[in-house]
């Protein structure tokens, strides 16, 4: 029987790769067609960066409309049209994308995010010990919402937020989680909902880095945009310094062979 951690990594990798046709290509097609922020004149690296942001911002909305007012099958038609739009836009673009042109700060920031995301969201076993994800309470709930969306024929599906015959507030779960729901369907059993959520989280973190870079590039004027972006990325971690307290608590529990999941107020208890 394959090790479950390796199975999870395969599921995450597949979910992340499916983000290319579900997020990146549609975002590129929309950006090129609408020429957002002078999209067609931008360098290739910047176009790809914006494509991630555009894809995660607009694609869920474009999927929600047919899912809500037609059926789940109609969303695949929209996905197919968006992919075709992205491919045609890529074919019309001039490409000079080179790995060497990606700055060292971008490579480091992306790698740090991937390590943090996988380290916090995946369960880990060492010998015979299980170290569950520190965010499994949140991910288990959202994974069930994704599963409900993947099995639904139209919105709203049966979930924690739906009470038949009663009006309900439209929440982001019904919109943003449509992408991992389609990922689950496209995976044909190879990608569980929990791993589809991790794949979406990876794309979301990368998109956040791209948003910061885009805001500095298009809306602010700095003598050195590269330096300003680096500082802004570092400041993203200021609000999460409680990780130091949580990490020390997790390490202490692990050394004593205890259940390592920590409470949400560990940081405040240590301060």
- Residue 270 confidence (pLDDT): 39
- Total domains in the chain come to 1
Q: Is residue 230 part of a domain?
A: yes
Q: Where are the beta strands (DSSP E) in the chain?
A: 124-126, 129-131
Q: Is residue 271 part of a domain?
A: no
- Total-model pTM: 0.81
Q: Is residue 15 part of a domain?
A: yes
Confidence of residue 160 (pLDDT cuts 50, 70, 90): low
Name which of 18-22, 52-56, 244-248 the model is least confident about.
244-248
- Residue 93 confidence (pLDDT): 86
pLDDT at 132 over 70: yes
CA angle 156, 159, 161 (to 5 degrees): 75
Structure tokens at 13: 């990798």
- Residue 185 confidence (pLDDT): 93
As a three-state string, the secondary structure of 137-189 is HHHHHHHHHHHHHHHCCCCCCCCCCCCCCCCCCCCCHHHHCHHHHHHHHHHCC
Q: How far is CA 222 from CA 16, 41, 187, 228, in A?
A: 34, 21, 44, 7
Q: Are 107 and 99 in contact (CB under 8 A)?
A: no
Q: What is the pLDDT of residues 33-72, one digit of tens each?
A: 999 999 999 988 889 999 999 999 999 999 999 988 888 8
- Residue 83 confidence (pLDDT): 96
Q: Is the peptide bond before 156 cis (omega within 30 degrees of 0)?
A: yes
Segment 214-237 shows an average pLDDT of: 84
Separation between Cα atoms, residue 193 and residue 183, nearest integer Å:
8
pLDDT at 98 over 60: no
Q: Is residue 269 part of a domain?
A: no
Kindly report the average pLDDT of the chain as a whole number: 83
Name which of 10-14, 128-132, 148-152, 185-189 the model is least confident about.
128-132
Confidence of residue 268 (pLDDT cuts 50, 70, 90): very low
Between residues 20 and 9, which one has the greater pLDDT? Answer: 20
Range of the domain at 235: 4-263
Q: Is residue 195 part of a domain?
A: yes
Q: Is residue 270 part of a domain?
A: no
Q: Is residue 80 part of a domain?
A: yes
pLDDT at 238 over 80: no
Segment 150-165 shows an average pLDDT of: 66
- Residue 16 confidence (pLDDT): 96
Identify the bridge partners of residue 129 per DSSP, sorted by sequence position: 126
pLDDT at 14 over 90: yes
Separation between Cα atoms, residue 9 and residue 14, nearest integer Å:
9
Which of the 8 DSSP states describes residue 101? G
- Residue 236 confidence (pLDDT): 80
Separation between Cα atoms, residue 123 and residue 136, nearest integer Å:
9
Q: Is residue 130 part of a domain?
A: yes
């Amino acid at each position: 029987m394959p090790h479950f951690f390796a199975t999870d990594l395969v599921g995450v990798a597949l979910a992340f790769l499916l983000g290319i046709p579900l997020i990146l290509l549609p975002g590129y097609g929309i950006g090129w067609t609408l020429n957002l922020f002078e999209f067609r004149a931008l360098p290739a690296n910047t176009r790809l960066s914006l494509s991630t942001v555009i894809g995660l911002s607009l694609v869920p909305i474009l999927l929600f409309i047919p899912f809500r007012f037609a059926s789940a099958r109609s969303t695949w038609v929209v996905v197919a049209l968006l992919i075709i739009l992205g491919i045609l836009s890529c074919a019309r673009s001039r490409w000079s994308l080179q790995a060497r042109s990606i700055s060292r700060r971008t490579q480091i920031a992306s790698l740090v995010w991937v390590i943090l995301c996988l380290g916090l969201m995946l369960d880990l076993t060492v010998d015979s010990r299980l170290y569950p994800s520190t965010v499994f309470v949140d991910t288990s709930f959202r994974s069930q919402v994704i599963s409900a969306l993947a099995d639904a024929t139209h919105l709203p599906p049966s979930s924690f937020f739906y009470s038949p015959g009663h009006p309900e507030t439209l929440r982001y779960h019904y919109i943003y989680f449509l992408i991992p729901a389609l990922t689950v369907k496209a995976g044909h059993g190879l990608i569980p909902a929990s791993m589809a959520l991790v794949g979406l989280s990876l794309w979301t973190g990368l998109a956040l880095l791209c948003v910061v870079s885009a805001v500095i590039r298009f809306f602010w004027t700095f003598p050195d945009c590269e330096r300003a972006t680096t500082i802004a990325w570092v400041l993203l971690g200021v609000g999460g310094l409680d990780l130091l307290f949580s990490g020390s608590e997790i390490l202490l529990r692990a050394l004593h062979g205890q259940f390592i999941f920590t409470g949400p107020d560990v940081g405040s208890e240590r301060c």
